[in-house]
Amino acid sequence: MRLHFLAGLTLIVVSIVHATGSDVPLPSASSSEGFRIASDATITSTRLLRSNSAGDASDDTRAGLSVPATEKLKSWFTSSEVTPEKLQSWLNKGKSVNTVFTRMHLKKAGHWTLQAPQFSTWLQYVDNLNARTSPKSTSAISTLTRQFGADELYGMIESAKFIPEIKNLATRLETDQVQYWATIRKDPDEVFRLFRLDEARDNILNNPLLSTWVSYMNTIITDNPSKLSTLISTLETRFNDRPLLQILEKAKKFPSMESAAVKLQTEKMQTIFASKISPKEAFHLLGLDTIGDSVLSSTVLKEWKD
């Protein structure tokens, strides 16, 4: 029964995402026409759901879903339809993006909010409102964080990246979220946890989020150099030699962290060499087996050979 339910849910999600065309670039116009274009997908989706409702009942039964349950799922993706005229009225009154988000009932889609038909319309409202105010009144990410929390929002964005129709939108939101974290000085240790980098200790160098996190750490340290020693100490406590040296190899490419990263890297290498382990074991601990073709130009290799 549960598998039938999940299958039914997946079909609904995919069909609605295809119907809405969420990956279409958002119009930049600040008039009600801009809202009308952005909401066309919502209207199309709503009509599709209504026209198919009569024939859905028997299909729902075969899929193991009751009709009320199916309609409830559909309602998650057909948030209260707001006309372009209403949006323009709110824009003229300067309604906050948080207020408009609430009035559009977008949160009832829960984890699937980014796939909701009117989500792109709401993003258009954010852009239009910010275009009228200086400095910008607020960001979409700050509102979404307030609505869902940093952890849940990050999970929503990561899930959305696997849906081709909204992958570009999710990537944009991911970039905006990291920038927002930097603005509010979110602790790099919290970001590290969100990225689940501590779960990929032995293969951390192959995790694409490592570069994002090291870059984020650089941003924080550039603005607040006093955090450098704390962050380096945290890394040293959290990781054993192999993953730590891999992180330091990336960190030393940033001027703000180069000196501290090289210092700790040198100390760790000296400890490894003094331990009298075999050259093969040292090669592994130093992470030289993960560098690939660039290993010959590695300064770490030179230390290992000497």
What secondary structure, in 3-state letters, does the chain show? CHHHHHHHHHHHHHHHHHHHCCCCCCCCCCCHHHHHHHHHHHHHHHHHHHHCHHHHHHHHHHCCCCHHHHHHHHHHHCCCCCCHHHHHHHHHHCCCHHHHHHHCCHHHHHHHHHHCCCHHHHHHHHHHHHHHCCCCCCCHHHHHHHHHCHHHHHHHHHHHCCCHHHHHHHHHHHHHHHHHHHHCCCCHHHHHHHCCHHHHHHHHHHCHHHHHHHHHHHHHHHHCHHHHHHHHHHHHHHCCHHHHHHHHHHHCCCHHHHHHHHHHHHHHHHHHHHCCCCHHHHHHHCCHHHCHHHHHHCHHHHHHHC
- 226-274 pLDDT per residue, tens: 888 888 888 888 887 778 888 888 888 899 898 888 888 888 878 877 7
In a 13 Å sphere around the CA of 196, the CA atoms on its Cβ side amount to: 7
CA 2/CA 85 separation, integer angstroms: 42
- 60-92 pLDDT per residue, tens: 333 333 434 444 444 444 445 789 999 999 999
- The pTM for the full model equals 0.64
Q: What are 289's two structure tokens?
A: 């087996």
CB atoms within 10 A of CB 164: 10
Beta carbons of 17 and 163 less than 8 angstroms apart: yes
Q: Which of 100-109, 135-144, 155-164 has the lowest mean pLDDT?
A: 135-144
Domain boundaries, the chain: 2-184, 190-305
- Percent of the chain clearing pLDDT 90 (strictly above): 30
- Rg (the chain; Cα; Å): 25
- Percent of the chain clearing pLDDT 70 (strictly above): 63
Q: Which phi and psi angles does 214 have, rounded to 5°?
A: -65, -40
Mean pLDDT rounded to a whole number for the chain: 73
Per-residue model confidence (pLDDT) at position 45: 34
Helix axes 2-20, 67-77, angle to 10 degrees: 40
Q: Is the pLDDT reported for residue 1 higher than 70?
A: no
CA 179/CA 224 separation, integer angstroms: 16
Q: Is the pLDDT reported for residue 29 higher than 50?
A: no
- 128-143 pLDDT per residue, tens: 999 988 666 678 999 9
Per-residue model confidence (pLDDT) at position 283: 66
**CA angle, 58 then 60 then 63, to 5°:** 115
Residue 282 banded pLDDT, cuts 50, 70, 90: low
Q: What are the distances in angstroms from CA 176 to CA 38, 100, 141, 172, 180?
A: 21, 20, 7, 6, 6
| Cα end-to-end distance, the chain, whole Å | 64
